[in-house]
């Protein structure tokens, strides 16, 4: 069964497309956090961030950077949230790699900073030892 992004890619569902190349395409999110909220979507289906080749990820981040610049220059966005929900536990609703580029403004009342989880004594060093990249 096709993902909603495959159906958009294939023209089966309408969208407002901002950009397209051989690797990805950019559309306006139909349920935006802020007007101008854009999605950079891989043409190839990768269920999660970790499934995509680094060349694809790098290219998509370059395109996300261009979207960021356009949101700032055209809409006057003062900042952006650039995020990937990676897996259902992280809020990913469509199992197809996509990057959100969300325009932000001072005082817009939107909060993407989750509550914090503190380390106990010695726990941070333990996590560091376990998570160190070799």
Catalytic residues, which ones?
A: 98
Q: Taking the CA atoms of the chain, what radius of gyration do you get in angstroms?
A: 17
Within 8 A by CB and 6+ apart from 25, the residues are 9, 17, 19, 40, 41, 43
How far the first Cα of the chain sits from its last, in Å, is: 38
d(CA 65, CA 26): 12
């Amino acid at each position: 069964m096709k993902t909603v992004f495959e159906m958009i890619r294939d023209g089966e569902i309408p969208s407002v497309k901002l950009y397209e190349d051989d690797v990805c395409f950019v559309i306006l999110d139909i349920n935006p956090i802020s007007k101008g909220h854009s999605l950079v979507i891989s043409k190839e289906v990768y269920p999660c961030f970790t499934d995509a080749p680094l060349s694809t990820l790098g290219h998509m981040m370059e395109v996300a950077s261009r979207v960021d610049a356009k949101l700032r220059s055209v809409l006057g966005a003062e900042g952006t949230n650039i995020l990937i929900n990676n897996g259902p536990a992280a809020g990913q609703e469509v199992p197809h790699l996509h990057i959100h580029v969300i325009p932000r403004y001072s005082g817009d009342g939107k909060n993407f900073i989750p509550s914090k989880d503190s380390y106990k004594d010695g726990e941070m060093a333990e996590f560091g030892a376990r998570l160190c990249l070799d």
